[in-house]
Amino acid sequence: MDFLELVKQRRSCRAFTAESLTEEQLQLILTAAQLAPSACNIQPLQLHLLRGERLEAARKCAWLYNCQAAVLVCTLDDKAWVRKHDGENFALADAAIAVDHMALAAASIGVDSCIIGAIKLADLKQALNLPEGEHAQLILALGHADQSAEDKLKLHDKRRALSELVSD
């Protein structure tokens, strides 16, 4: 598929069917995160594939809609690249790129997703017993879109014009 077509095809899904994902689909999506660029190639991430009981536990701490699986992206902030002259830590940038890689990989195989940042961090840390040093950043909710459900947020088509977005 043409890359821009793939980018256009991906959209946030907030209502999923009961169809689960196959192991092959999950492996492809996770591989996209593995191959994502990161500052200095440090790869300061820990991914948690959430299914079954752990997914149910996570649902209590983040609005994951009725997704069938999810990938929690944690950063290892102590390991991430820090820009020397101003101390900027790039862990969140690395996490965001990995999440977007996974969302696009999912779209490429007909799997729908939604990036979730609205997470109760302390609750999630406790519910999943996350180790010290892991900072939960984003969750990618995964499944197949329920085409009969209305997208109540209707955010997808609101794009700033390129002429406004880009200065030259």
Ligand X SMILES: Cc1cc2nc3c(=O)[nH]c(=O)nc-3n(C[C@H](O)[C@H](O)[C@H](O)COP(=O)(O)O)c2cc1C
Number of residues that bind ligand X (CB under 6 A): 11
CB of 39 to ligand X, least distance (A): 18
What is the three-class DSSP state of 67?
A: coil
| Bridge partners of residue 45, in order along the sequence | 75
Residue from 15, 74, 116, 124 in contact with ligand X (CB under 6 A)? 116
**How large is the angle between the packed helices 91-108 and 23-34, nearest 10 degrees?**
140
What is the three-class DSSP state of 128?
A: coil
d(CA 44, CA 46): 7
CB of 50 to ligand X, least distance (A): 15
Select from 20-28, 36-44, 52-60, 112-120 the region that touches ligand X (CB under 6 A). Answer: 112-120
Q: Is 155 in the site for ligand X (CB under 6 A)?
A: yes
- Which positions touch ligand X (CB under 6 A)? 11-12, 14, 114-118, 138, 155-156
